[in-house]
C-alpha cells in the first residue's frame, strides 16, 4: 500500500490538473464498501490536502470533488443494498468481516439517520453503514440527506488541515 500512496502523491505533485479527478476516485473508494478495505485513501487524501496547501492549488474544487466522490460511493453501496438486500452480505469483503457487519447493523438500528451521518467518521463502519441503511429499508431521501451533509463535512475535515495548516505555517 505504501507504493500506491507514493505513486498517487507523485502523480498529483506533477499533474495538478488531475488532482480533482484523483480526489474524487479516492473519496469514492474510501466510501464504497467493496473497495475501502483495499485502498489507503484516507492517508493519501491527507497528503493531498497538504500538497494543496504548499502548491497553491485551489481548495474548493478539490473539496467538492472529495465530497461528491464520497456521496457517490455511499450512494452506490446503499443502492446495491436496497436492490440485493441480505445477499450482499455474502459477497467479499463483507463475508470476511461478519463482526464488523453486525456492529454496523446494530449501530444503524440504534441511531438511524444519525448513524449514516456519524458513521462516515468512524473508520471501518464508514463503508458498511450505507449497506445497513439500504438493507434495513431507510428511505432514499433520509439516506441522501445524511449522506450528503456528512460527505461535505468529512471532505473538509480530511483536506482542510493540510491545506490551511501549511498555508498558515508557510504563508500564502
Task: Read off the pLDDT band of 9 (50, 70, 90).
Answer: low
pLDDT value of residue 170? 54
pLDDT value of residue 169? 52
Global confidence as pTM? 0.84
pLDDT in tens, 67-98: 999 999 999 999 999 999 888 778 877 778 78
d(CA 70, CA 15): 22
pLDDT value of residue 85? 86
Mean pLDDT of the chain: 84
pLDDT value of residue 106? 92
Q: How far apart are the first and last CA of the chain?
A: 32
pLDDT value of residue 165? 62
The residue among 60, 14, 17, 65 whose CA lies nearest residue 41 is 65
Q: Which domain holds residue 146?
A: 2-170
d(CA 9, CA 104): 32
pLDDT in tens, 101-159: 888 889 999 999 999 999 999 877 888 899 999 999 999 999 999 999 999 999 999 88
Number of domains in the chain: 1
HSE at residue 48, side-chain half, CA atoms within 13 A, is 36
Rounded to an integer, the average pLDDT of 31-55 is 76
Residue carrying the nine cell digits 480526489: 23
Amino acid at each position: 500500500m505504501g507504493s500506491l500512496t507514493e505513486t498517487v502523491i507523485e502523480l498529483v505533485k506533477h499533474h495538478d490538473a488531475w488532482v480533482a479527478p484523483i480526489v474524487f476516485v479516492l473519496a469514492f473508494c474510501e466510501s464504497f464498501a467493496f473497495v475501502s478495505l483495499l485502498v489507503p485513501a484516507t492517508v493519501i487524501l491527507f497528503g493531498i490536502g497538504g500538497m494543496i496547501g504548499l502548491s497553491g492549488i485551489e481548495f474548493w474544487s478539490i473539496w467538492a470533488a472529495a465530497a461528491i466522490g464520497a456521496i457517490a460511493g455511499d450512494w452506490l453501496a446503499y443502492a446495491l443494498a436496497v436492490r440485493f438486500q441480505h445477499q450482499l452480505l455474502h459477497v467479499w469483503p463483507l463475508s470476511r468481516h461478519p463482526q464488523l457487519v453486525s456492529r454496523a447493523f446494530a449501530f444503524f438500528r440504534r441511531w438511524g439517520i444519525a448513524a449514516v451521518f456519524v458513521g462516515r467518521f468512524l473508520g471501518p463502519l464508514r463503508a458498511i453503514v450505507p449497506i445497513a441503511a439500504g438493507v434495513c429499508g431507510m428511505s432514499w431521501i433520509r439516506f441522501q440527506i445524511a449522506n450528503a451533509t456528512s460527505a461535505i463535512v468529512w471532505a473538509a475535515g480530511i483536506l482542510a488541515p493540510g491545506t490551511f495548516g501549511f498555508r498558515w505555517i508557510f504563508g500564502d
